[in-house]
């Protein structure tokens, strides 16, 4: 069983290294497509093993249902991001924005990024979890700065500085947690072992655990893009190459949330759920509220999507904050749904930007007329992210709102619904402009079609979402239910 985990870690590293060899453009594409498909398959095998046979535990590795949910997200996104990259980078080279050397660098970094992200859910130890999360920042920093032009440099500098400072606070929190563990004399040699901490959380010093939680929440919350620590996010997401933006939005933010979830399970055991819930609800609500005005008045397509990510992270955090099993179920389902939909939307945005040569929403008009297939997909993806049925996001949003009403905080449910309505209006307004006015003549005549791999990546994502809305497979339902049981303090 654990050999699959090792394989999942070795494969992206190997693919990354192989990119350094003397390769032609064609060879690089084949290599990375093969590599990422293998990585995805391996991850899916792990998820399947966990769903069928239960947790995997070996040394520092530990995969339970909660990690499996995240691994599922990474598996899907690795595959679609690489697929989309094939067409995207090809066009970047044709348009002269990139060279063969840059292409190699891109894939080397992308695979390293996948490696660090796979590390996050498979380690068992709060300390190593910190190391893995910081590694995701560093491996993606040069991807954000990929074009090395002025805005990209600015975005990358802010990204590294804000996230590293934030994550230093998380390390401080982790040290305090370790101090609590050492003073309570728990777990012998298993320093910061998540299971040891969870099993003995009742004996930890409550004051110390509370202090640790605040630091850890601020630290990882910075990485997850929770307001008011979200300032790096719109810059980084808008400047990175589009496949990377999708990856950052879908998988990286979820990884940081995963770290928060892991910590809050221990903290709940030590000081009861009320303490963590107030913080999570507060940060979640604030993130949604802050995202609204920026979504309503936004001229940059990718920044619009970035703020939408902040909103969705806020919604998930809010779901965690409500704290009933139903809310947590909704939150986890929303993690998966958001990752798949938002990455597809970022890929589409990338294709649109390459087509029109601008990121300015006001100058992108008539997409449906100029590129019918892509336009239709774009409209569908926006409807999906805004939460319209039959797309699966509708159900996860509904679950969270429903849970809010059910848990007795009806006012919370009403506020969420109002904010969602405002965001829905904003997204649809821009989409109508972008999709249905008449296209500039130059663009309309070009008969542009994105490459087949790119279309495949987007179609697969949207089909998964539409399918997930109509039919949720039983194994996924079981997996999420088990993850929720872990989060509420039940079975390990």
Partner 1 sequence: MNVLIIILLFLALLLSRVTNLKTAVIILLGQSILVALACAIVAAETGAVHTYIAAALTLVIKAGLIPYALFRIVGMLRREREVNPILQPNYSAMVAGIMIVLAYGLTDKALPEIVSRDALAAAVAMMLIGLTMIMIRRQAVLQIVGLITMENGLYLVGLSVTQGLPLIIELGVVLDVMVAVVVLVILTYRLKRSFMSTDTSVLKKLKG
311 binds partner 1 (CB under 8 A): no
Identify the residue among 124, 235, 277, 311 touching partner 1 (CB under 8 A): 235
> In the 3-class helix/strand/coil scheme, how is the chain assigned residue by residue?
CHHHHHHHHHHHHHHHHHCCCCCCHHHHHHHHHHHHHHHHHHHHHHHHHHHHHCCEEECCEEECHHHHHHHHHHHHHHHHHHHHHHHHHHHHHHCCCCCHHHHHHHHHHHHHHHHHHHHHHHECEHHHHHHHHHHHHHHHHHHHCCCCCHHHHHHHHHHHHHHHHHHHHHHHHHHHHHHHHHHHCCCCCCCCEHHHHHHCHHHCCHHHHHHHHHHHHHHHHHHHCCCCCCCHHHHHHHHCCHHHHHHHHHHHHHHHHHHHHHHHHHHHHHHCHHHHHHHHHHHHHHHHHHHHHHHHCCCEHHHHHHHHHHHHHHHHHHHHHHCCHHHHHHHHHHHHHHHHHHHHHHHHHHHHHHHHCCCEHHHCCCHHHHCHHHHHHHHHHHHHHHCCCCCHHHHHHHHHHHHHHHCCCHHHHHHHHHHHHHHHHHHHHHHHHHHHCCCCHHHHHCCCCCCHHHHHHHHHHHHHHHHHHHCCCHHHHHHHHHHHHHHCCCCC
102 binds partner 1 (CB under 8 A): no
Identify which of residues 179 and 448 has a Cβ nearer to partner 1 in the complex: 179
Q: Smallest distance, Å, CB 275 to partner 1?
A: 16
Q: Taking CB under 8 A as the rule, which mask of x and - marks residues 54-83 in contact with partner 1?
A: ------x-----------------------
Q: Smallest distance, Å, CB 329 to partner 1?
A: 33
Identify the residue among 15, 125, 254, 281 touching partner 1 (CB under 8 A): 125
Identify the residue among 42, 87, 263, 298 touching partner 1 (CB under 8 A): 298
Cis ω for the linkage preceding 412 (within 30 of 0) = no
127 binds partner 1 (CB under 8 A): yes
Identify which of residues 15 and 239 has a Cβ nearer to partner 1 in the complex: 239
Q: Smallest distance, Å, CB 417 to partner 1?
A: 26
41 binds partner 1 (CB under 8 A): no
242 binds partner 1 (CB under 8 A): no
436 binds partner 1 (CB under 8 A): no
Identify which of residues 28 and 192 has a Cβ nearer to partner 1 in the complex: 192
145 binds partner 1 (CB under 8 A): yes
Q: Smallest distance, Å, CB 237 to partner 1?
A: 11
Q: Smallest distance, Å, CB 25 to partner 1?
A: 25
- Binding segment (CB under 8 A) for partner 1, from list 156-164, 244-252, 351-359, 437-445: 156-164
Q: Taking CB under 8 A as the rule, which mask of x and - marks residues 159-178 in contact with partner 1?
A: -xx--xx--x--xx--xx-x
182 binds partner 1 (CB under 8 A): yes
Identify the residue among 52, 53, 150, 447 touching partner 1 (CB under 8 A): 150
195 binds partner 1 (CB under 8 A): no
Identify which of residues 192 and 487 has a Cβ nearer to partner 1 in the complex: 192
Interface residues with partner 1 (CB under 8 A)? 60, 125, 127-128, 130-131, 134-135, 137-138, 141-142, 145, 148-151, 153-158, 160-161, 164-165, 168, 171-172, 175-176, 178-179, 182, 191-192, 211, 234-235, 238-239, 294, 297-300, 303
């Amino acid at each position: 069983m654990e050999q699959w985990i090792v394989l999942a870690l070795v494969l992206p590293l190997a693919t990354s290294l192989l990119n350094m060899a003397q390769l032609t453009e064609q060879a690089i594409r084949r290599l990375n497509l093969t590599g990422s498909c293998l990585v995805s398959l391996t991850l899916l095998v792990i998820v399947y093993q966990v769903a069928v046979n239960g947790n995997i535990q070996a040394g520092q590795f530990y995969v339970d249902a909660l990690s499996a949910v995240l691994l599922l997200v990474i598996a899907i996104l690795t595959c679609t991001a690489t697929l989309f990259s094939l067409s995207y980078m090809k066009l970047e080279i044709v348009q002269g924005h990139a060279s063969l050397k840059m292409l190699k660098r891109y894939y080397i970094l992308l695979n390293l990024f996948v490696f660090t992200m796979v590390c996050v859910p498979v380690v068992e130890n709060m300390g190593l979890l910190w190391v893995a999360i910081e590694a995701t920042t560093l491996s993606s920093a040069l991807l954000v700065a990929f074009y090395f032009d002025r805005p990209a440099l600015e975005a990358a500098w802010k990204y590294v500085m804000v996230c590293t400072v934030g994550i230093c606070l998380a390390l401080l929190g982790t040290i305090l947690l370790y101090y609590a563990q050492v003073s309570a004399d728990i777990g012998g040699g298993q320093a910061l072992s998540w299971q040891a901490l969870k099993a003995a959380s009742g004996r930890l010093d409550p004051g110390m655990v509370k202090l640790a939680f605040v630091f850890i929440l601020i630290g990882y919350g910075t990485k997850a893009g929770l307001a008011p620590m979200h300032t790096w996010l719109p810059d980084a997401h808008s400047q990175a190459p589009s496949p990377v933006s999708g990856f950052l939005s879908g998988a990286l933010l979820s990884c940081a949330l995963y770290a928060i979830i892991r910590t809050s399970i221990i903290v709940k055991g030590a000081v009861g759920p009320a303490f963590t819930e107030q913080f999570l609800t507060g940060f979640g609500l604030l993130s949604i509220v802050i995202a609204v005005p920026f979504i309503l008045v936004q001229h940059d397509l990718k920044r619009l999507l970035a703020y939408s990510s902040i909103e969705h992270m806020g919604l998930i955090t809010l779901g965690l904050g409500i704290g009933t099993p139903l809310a947590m179920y909704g939150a986890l389902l929303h993690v998966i749904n958001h990752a798949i939909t938002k990455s597809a939307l970022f890929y589409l945005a990338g294709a649109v930007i390459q087509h029109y040569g601008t990121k300015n929403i006001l100058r992108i008009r008539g997409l449906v007329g100029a590129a019918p297939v892509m336009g239709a997909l774009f409209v569908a993806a926006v409807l999906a992210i805004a939460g319209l049925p039959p797309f699966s996001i509708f159900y996860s949003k509904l679950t969270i709102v429903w849970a809010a009403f059910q848990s007795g905080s009806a006012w919370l449910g009403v506020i969420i619904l109002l904010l969602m309505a405002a965001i829905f209006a904003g997204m649809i307004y821009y989409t109508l402009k972008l999709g249905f006015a008449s296209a500039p003549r130059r663009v309309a005549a070009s008969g542009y079609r994105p490459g087949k791999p790119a279309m495949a990546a987007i179609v697969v994502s949207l089909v998964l979402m539409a399918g997930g809305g109509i039919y949720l497979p039983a194994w996924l339902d079981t997996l999420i239910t088990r993850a929720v049981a872990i989060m509420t303090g039940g079975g390990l």
